[in-house]
Structure 1
């Protein structure tokens, strides 16, 4: 699908992978809508890119419905959804203070997995009614998993569970949405230079980067964005999760 002139909705678009994807899509001619719980940060990014910012809690049905409705009023039907909203606080299942609070586990699942599903279902419902493009395609949904879905480390039980769910959601969603001409793909990044990692000391960042076989560095958000754009443009990519990790396989800790 040619993204030029099309509407792309990006959750978690205020920073990190979402902001980089927005920049790459704008460069390719797309109209972008940044959905984020932090409206001020999303607005700042949107102003730089010439897009719109909409406050959205991806875990909340009404908030997500209202956000997508606002995008449609401003731009028309969205053809691309990129789910980048997510959290990943580390915590052991059983730590020094006892078992992980169940609420902590639920929060990660709610944002990373249920939030992804919530946006997917609402976006696809609207897109399924749009006029098809060349070849019968209506659009594409790209979700964000993680290599932790496959090699979760100690302390990543909640995060790995949530991202494993995103991976497992990909193929049944792609099969179901095939009747509408909507493709569904997932990207599983390795260790990327995002605000979450930027908070670590520089020595820690270098150490993490050195653990990647090649290139021995942290991934750049623009590299995630380039892959997202390639997926949009390649109409035969559907129902798959693509790792982008420099051949990294996570150690137990």
Structure 2
């Protein structure tokens, strides 16, 4: 083993088969970050149904994801992200933070509004909650359609952004946070809510998700759609009846 390289192991929630990657946007977020960093790391999936000994030994009282960095255990997703960005730094590793602070928060409320809508047990509230959810999607799309300053510097006459991702043409920490959640939204909306994500009129969001689907670091870290649907079955199944 190269002693100059850290020993990194990411523990992720396992799927229903007990071995492959399960539905957990926080796990996928860290998976994507490590991949984009270009670090050497291993993945260990944790079957939560069997109350594995690894949790008791390494992270008692914690749920995946958690990270083993050399002999140090880290269990908070946000702090793990900060640690990796600070520790796996240039020139050996890629820098993933955003250039524009607005990119960090773009789309933050989409998953919140989606969850409120899909989990709503009171039909009379559905219309209002759906409107709030769709408005959040439109706000995200508007951000993606709005040219960033670097685009305007290249062409002051640019009226609509053509960038690939939230902060530019490279995936960042913000994308690693948002894309796993948008994948859940897309899968659940199609199956249980009869809503196509992205709506075709939202050009920025359509471009964003199309580009994301071409990125191996995203599409190859997604759980199977069946895992997502199983996770939402108990709260959303009544919508298909």
State if a TM-score over 0.5 links the two structures: no
Query: More helix by proportion, 1 or 2?
Result: 2
More strand by share: 1
What TM-score results when the alignment is normalised by the length of structure 2?
Answer: 0.30
